[in-house]
Structure 1
């Protein structure tokens, strides 16, 4: 229509303008102008639609990228790595290859975040992703699963697991390199768990898929953390049973706290020279309905990781103060605190509250801090020790000799007593170096004016040697095994050492149970 109208009208318009002839019909002119307007409008609308399509396609592409990748690092995300892993497993199945799924978890990342802020944490995550990508082999995949967890998926020859080992070692070495952030140097390491697609499921024909591989590698990664971190382990099926048992322990510990299943046991502390009973050290035991009596070596590390060690310790100390309130006033109570509790700035106040609630004299309570705690934050330790001593509580340095305390630290920290670790005491008759160490610590204690407690006295031979090496308070299975409150109460009744029932002058008979394989871990 536009062409027809234009060919009829435009020549007449030109002749009318140039030669003054009669112009075209007005209706035709209006029709032409309308057609021109329609063409212009149509063209503009076409361009708008084209732009709209481009924007929509870009948005769809961006949505796809966001759906498949992690926005912070640009790695694949959890959903996409599963899909891509399943495809890679299918591709390698007929080539004599297998797929290795590596689960990486950054060690110490939470501390970096808490101390330096989330911007520093983001820098660590981006740098970690870049370092992983630098070492990733052809056809390999990398994903950030969330938080500080990454995953790598690589194909490999089934007979060349050494190449996967080499790749894992490169990742560990690379990630451990310092990371710079705004004039700060950040340090993290990584624990890696590895699972392979041809592992197979015991007593099952079920095919290994990405979901199972991720589960297995996660179990192996936890195994790496459990065995020291900054290392890798290949998945083995017994690890799954161990993890299942740990999950049962975690659930049991949480339930046990609610039900009051954790009980204080008490180990006697004796004057080595006179045999006089001086007090007791409180040790934790778990009376589990399912597992029976559980030693603290099993549940204390898990309670620390779960973040419930503070609640558990307060429960135990509250019960111990209630028990010890009926003992003779000459007897002291020693309690251990976890390194985790040292990070609680309100611990001293919490302990004071327990003393007030239990109406227990502060000067009869001794708090034991392990030597290894000094290296985590000596400033916090100094503040805590000072606060406790200001309340009248005595503070002992436990397991002395197992850490790396300097003499300047020992001099600057206001400890009231040193406890020699049992590893130096229990084998004294057969360990010349142990004898020299105990003698040196005894001399050191005399020089600093600090009395000494020797742990691990398990035979008459050890006791006789200690008497010749200095003046000690002693404890160990020679004097008796740790006992519950009822047994201690009965023991003290026979010795006239309950409140109001006689003076604390009794000499304790030694236990004939014999030596044990070691002192249980304290709470």
Structure 2
């Protein structure tokens, strides 16, 4: 079964039903018999008819004449019915071909569906010799490569622009895929935004498959238009080869290759997307770990395993404690304390980040309620939560339930969120500020925002990303960026917070910029709620002693 990439159709032989074929033969036989009788009776009555017409004899025998006329009627009726049956057969065969094509292909793109794609790949694999040498390598060089393609961020494009725009984007990506592969390639659409390719290749020319994968990444990554909108979408691709099939796998053939390519594809996503990766056995272990993380996260949220840790925020000039930033941690019974950079991307992918975040924020509000009233609480929100039009109302409800003053809460929005959600972010910020909640722009300098956006959006604070702060002593560019942001904050009358202060040299450098706040490991590691409560009690006790410590060694809360 050979399938062309750009025009995929089924080319099978369609057998008409036995009943139709037999009826067709009977009708043709009746017409044939009628024609024979017509000739026989015509030769019998023909001379009599002619003599009667010229007046030389009696007319034909009435019975023979009736038989002759009846034969004519039978011939006309039989031939008409025979033509109708032929047309019916043609229409039925066309309908069967259409039904078979619809059953075997994807109606949107025209590519093979998952079942037909698997059958085609199995057919290709059956043509590869099973004999292997002593090292387990196939005796002949011919192999099958399977490529799994997943469109990055397609769901966001679909949600923001509608399903019709999503369908247009899928068709455009399908056209680009078909134009980037050699003839004879099997192409299937096996999921909503997932495509798969299968093609034979020579063991010594793996570079050709790499070139095809690179071309696909480039072609799909180019900007596309859908309903007069310019949309950007990239592709993550996983590749598998037939000589890596495991004999002890529970899957076989096309299913095993798809599983391997799927694992490699998710590896490409974890490496930053918009790339391709060949399957390696270690990736299967990574996927199993990923599956364990997903199960653990889903089960851990209702069990309260996700807890807040708190990092100090200090006035760099006075050394006084101004508040804390809440950082989520996963206290997993299986993995121990898990950092957010591991579980947050997984929670976002499986759609539970909003539930997780609300659970941790609710705990943080309960903890912060007992702090000194002058201390603030800063919390990060996920970009996914920005898409929720009811987020401000949900947050206000949590504040009411915790009896926590909105003026002590600061919401941090990452700079990258502004690129695609500027209008929605503006509406969210306005709603939060109307309730008295302050809003800061986090990770400034790493995203897409501009000075014009800072003027348009009513932020209360700018936070300099830790990547610039931690390297400002050794990197002149980082030092220049930190200075520029500090001056920008002063010019716009926006308070500035520097993240990632880890050494005394960095602290001394930042103090030259005046009244900014900072946070980092120089002031101590983030603490869980119980440990923080004991530390605050100890600080209050030491504050009442005559001989106190220096501000940096033991920062004290600033009284209102």
What's the TM-score once normalised by structure 2's chain length?
0.83
Bigger CA drift: 240-249 or 224-233? Answer: 224-233
The DSSP-based 3-state class of the residue aligned with 2:244 is: coil
Deviation string, structure 1 residues 329-358 (Cα, Å, up to 9, x no partner):
111111111122122222222211111121
Bigger CA drift: 241-250 or 412-421? Answer: 412-421
Which of the residues 42, 49, 53 maps onto 2:78?
42
Q: Does 1:398 align with 2:434?
A: no
The DSSP-based 3-state class of the residue aligned with 1:122 is: helix
| Distance in 2 (alpha carbons) for counterparts of 1:396 and 1:86 | 56
Which of the residues 188, 201, 207 maps onto 1:156?
201
* Aligned twin of 1:27: 63
> Following superposition of structure 1 onto structure 2, how do residues 338-357 of structure 1 map, counting pairs within 5 Å?
338-357=382-401
Which of the residues 74, 89, 102 maps onto 1:53?
89
Deviation string, structure 1 residues 300-347 (Cα, Å, up to 9, x no partner):
111112222111111111111111112221111111111221222222
The DSSP-based 3-state class of the residue aligned with 1:352 is: helix
Q: How far apart are 1:296 and its partner, in Å?
A: 0.7
The DSSP-based 3-state class of the residue aligned with 2:200 is: strand
Q: How far apart are 1:206 and its partner, in Å?
A: 8.8
| Distance in 2 (alpha carbons) for counterparts of 1:104 and 1:138 | 18
* Aligned twin of 2:110: 74
Specify whether residues 391 and 43 from structure 1 end up closer, same or farther in structure 2 by C-alpha distance, changes over 3 A only: same
* Aligned twin of 2:26: none
* Aligned twin of 2:185: 140
| Distance in 1 (alpha carbons) for counterparts of 2:438 and 2:165 | 40
What is the aligned length?
505
Specify whether residues 10 and 67 from structure 1 end up closer, same or farther in structure 2 by C-alpha distance, changes over 3 A only: same
| Distance in 1 (alpha carbons) for counterparts of 2:318 and 2:227 | 62
Which of the residues 161, 167, 170 maps onto 1:122?
167
The DSSP-based 3-state class of the residue aligned with 2:296 is: helix
Q: How far apart are 1:442 and its partner, in Å?
A: 2.9
Q: Does 1:369 align with 2:413?
A: yes
Bigger CA drift: 457-466 or 406-415? Answer: 457-466
The DSSP-based 3-state class of the residue aligned with 1:481 is: coil
Which of the residues 114, 118, 126 maps onto 1:90?
126
Q: How far apart are 1:57 and its partner, in Å?
A: 2.0
What's the TM-score once normalised by structure 1's chain length?
0.88
* Aligned twin of 1:519: none
Bigger CA drift: 282-291 or 56-65? Answer: 56-65
| Distance in 2 (alpha carbons) for counterparts of 1:131 and 1:425 | 43
Specify whether residues 178 and 264 from structure 1 end up closer, same or farther in structure 2 by C-alpha distance, changes over 3 A only: closer
* Aligned twin of 2:506: 462
Q: How far apart are 1:299 and its partner, in Å?
A: 0.5
Q: Does 1:223 align with 2:259?
A: no
* Aligned twin of 1:212: 256
Q: How far apart are 1:509 and its partner, in Å?
A: 7.2
Bigger CA drift: 124-133 or 354-363? Answer: 124-133
Say whether the 8 Å CA contact 1:439–1:470 is kept in structure 2.
no
5+ residue gaps, structure 1, are: 513-523
Q: Does 1:448 align with 2:492?
A: yes
The DSSP-based 3-state class of the residue aligned with 2:301 is: helix
* Aligned twin of 1:326: 370
Deviation string, structure 1 residues 4-39 (Cα, Å, up to 9, x no partner):
443333433333333174333433333333333333
Say whether the 8 Å CA contact 2:141–2:204 is kept in structure 1.
no
Specify whether residues 122 and 460 from structure 1 end up closer, same or farther in structure 2 by C-alpha distance, changes over 3 A only: closer
Specify whether residues 406 and 121 from structure 1 end up closer, same or farther in structure 2 by C-alpha distance, changes over 3 A only: closer
Q: How far apart are 1:510 and its partner, in Å?
A: 5.8
Specify whether residues 134 and 376 from structure 1 end up closer, same or farther in structure 2 by C-alpha distance, changes over 3 A only: closer
Say whether the 8 Å CA contact 1:12–1:24 is kept in structure 2.
yes
* Aligned twin of 2:176: 131
* Aligned twin of 1:480: 524
Deviation string, structure 1 residues 271-304 (Cα, Å, up to 9, x no partner):
3333332221111011212212211111011111
* Aligned twin of 2:432: 388
Say whether the 8 Å CA contact 1:200–1:207 is kept in structure 2.
no
The DSSP-based 3-state class of the residue aligned with 1:23 is: coil
> Following superposition of structure 1 onto structure 2, how do residues 195-210 of structure 1 map, counting pairs within 5 Å?
195-201=240-246, 204=248, 209-210=253-254
Specify whether residues 365 and 220 from structure 1 end up closer, same or farther in structure 2 by C-alpha distance, changes over 3 A only: same
* Aligned twin of 1:315: 359
| Distance in 2 (alpha carbons) for counterparts of 1:390 and 1:82 | 56
Say whether the 8 Å CA contact 1:480–1:511 is kept in structure 2.
no
Say whether the 8 Å CA contact 1:275–1:507 is kept in structure 2.
no
| Distance in 1 (alpha carbons) for counterparts of 2:272 and 2:450 | 25
| Distance in 2 (alpha carbons) for counterparts of 1:120 and 1:404 | 25
Which of the residues 217, 229, 245 maps onto 1:172?
217
Say whether the 8 Å CA contact 1:274–1:507 is kept in structure 2.
no
Q: How far apart are 1:255 and its partner, in Å?
A: 1.1
